[in-house]
Amino acid sequence: MTSEHIEDILLIEEMESSYIDYAMSVVAGRAIPDVRDGLKPVQKRIIYAMAESNWVFNQSHVKCAKVVGQVLGNYHPHGDSSVYNALVRMGQVWSLRYPLIHPQGNFGSIDGDLPAAYRYTEARLSQIANELVEDINKETVDFVPNFDDS
């Protein structure tokens, strides 16, 4: 590479610009719910993983640890606490008008009590969440590759 192709930049300016770009990408990609359905990506991944595993309203509850592991291993490589917190919130009747998870065990309280660890709680999709994924295999959703292109 010759010196005529090297551009001098100030490190601080590049760091500011790169950080802002990354932060906006995180906010847009993970933190803000989708306007079409009101769900964040982690919530969609939980619902999809549970539906694919047949952990639905008319089946037995499964350990939340199993759900978290399935989501982390296949769809969401960002840490177990974000997955479990999203799972818990979708099962709290005081958090959502129509809970998407049917919980079993200590999922916290409206007074701010924390939920039990995921190894002690169980869940399955609620009947209304099942409606969300009922036609998913009929090309109603545009699928994109996940973190490992699978």
* Unique residue bearing structure tokens 């009922």: 134
Catalytic site residue from 19, 22, 98, 120: 120
* Distance between CA atoms of residues 141 and 60, nearest Å: 27
120 in catalytic set = yes
Residue 88, φ and ψ in degrees, nearest 5: -60, -50
The size of the chain, in residues, is: 150
Nearest to 83 by CA among 129, 47, 111, 126: 47
Distance of CA 77 to the CA centre of its chain: 10
* Distance between CA atoms of residues 107 and 66, nearest Å: 16
Instruction: Return the active site residues.
Output: 120
